[in-house]
Structure 1
Amino acid sequence: MATGLVGCASSPPKQFTRSADEFTPCSSAPHCVSSQAPRDSSKYVEPLRFAGATVAAARQALLKALYEADNARVERTEERFVHVTFRTTTGFVDDVAFLIQPEAQIIDVKSSSRIGYYDFNVNRKRVEHLRARFNALLDTPS
């Protein structure tokens, strides 16, 4: 079960972002996926989409999905940025960052292992699982 909610008013941390709208790129190792990677890249994953929903509803659905996720800890949450860590069953920590892009009605996502080379598709599967839960929560009237 996810724990912890830390609110801050500062910019997203530089280790995750280049700017308020852009993640740092994935490294060359195959343990990272990002919705901002080139579409023809093996690192590309679709962003979360919330067309037809408000930014507030999308943010609420995202946070609920994260709090319900196994082995997740919400480390930092801001108006447009969320950072979560996931601890794998083998004890490794993975970082997942989200950038809410209100104008495009998407939430960009980057999921990466902190150490190691291969992740055996864990980061991609995690993003797809979170996407499914996010979509289900957006479709459920509150």
Structure 2
Amino acid sequence: MSHNNRISTPLLLLFPLLLAACSSTGIGAPTTQMQPCPSSPNCVSTDAANAKQQISPFKIKGSKTVAWKELQQQVDQLPRTQIITVTSHYLQAECRSALFGFVDDIEFLLREEQGTIAIRSAARTGYSDFGVNRKRIETLRAALVSRGVIE
């Protein structure tokens, strides 16, 4: 009986970890910094190093608590969007495209000391998003400005 075609047990145990690492979305509740954008042009972020991917944070007017709650309500009203995680300082949601159901991740981080809300919006797959992530954030910005909670 040949053992050459046999996969070792440690390798079998390692395989799920490798698979999970390859499918990571790069999201999660940050404490001060958002995850970096990939080099592809399908991401915008307050913390992006690339000028083309940078987007201004939301500058809070008045109560930070009121602005944070209003942001949650506005995100919840976005079409095909589901809030996944929300804490007192972090919000993560998934947005699906209408035609193919591609998923974009949007994240917000309340930076109370700065009076801002940091932003990251990125496509999970593909190369270009045709500006969809930037447009979504600017639509949210306009809604929050009209509600009087950000400048």
> What's the TM-score, normalizing by structure 2?
0.77
- Write out the 4+ residue segments of structure 1 that deviate beyond 2 Å after TM superposition: 14-19
Which entry has the higher C-alpha Rg, 1 or 2? 2
User: What is the aligned counterpart of 1:71 among 67, 70, 80?
Assistant: 80
Equivalent position of 1:30 in the other structure:
41
In the TM superposition, what are the counterparts of 1:67-106 in structure 2 within 5 Å?
A: 67-89=76-98, 90-106=100-116
Distance 1:71 1:132 in 2: 19
Equivalent position of 1:20 in the other structure:
31
Amino acid at match of 1:35: T
Is 2:147 the partner of 1:137?
yes
SS in 1 for 2:120: strand
Q: Judge conservation of contact 2:83–2:91 (CA < 8 Å) in 1.
A: yes
Equivalent position of 1:128 in the other structure:
138
In the TM superposition, what are the counterparts of 1:20-59 in structure 2 within 5 Å?
A: 20-38=31-49, 41-51=51-61, 53-59=62-68
Number of residue-to-residue matches in the alignment: 124
- Higher share in strand: 1
Distance 2:97 2:129 in 1: 10
Ranges in structure 2 where 5+ consecutive residues have no aligned partner: 1-24
- Higher share in helix: 2
Q: Percent of aligned pairs with the same residue?
A: 29
Amino acid at match of 1:50: I
Q: Judge conservation of contact 1:57–1:138 (CA < 8 Å) in 2.
A: no
Amino acid at match of 2:75: L
> What's the TM-score, normalizing by structure 1?
0.81
Equivalent position of 1:107 in the other structure:
117
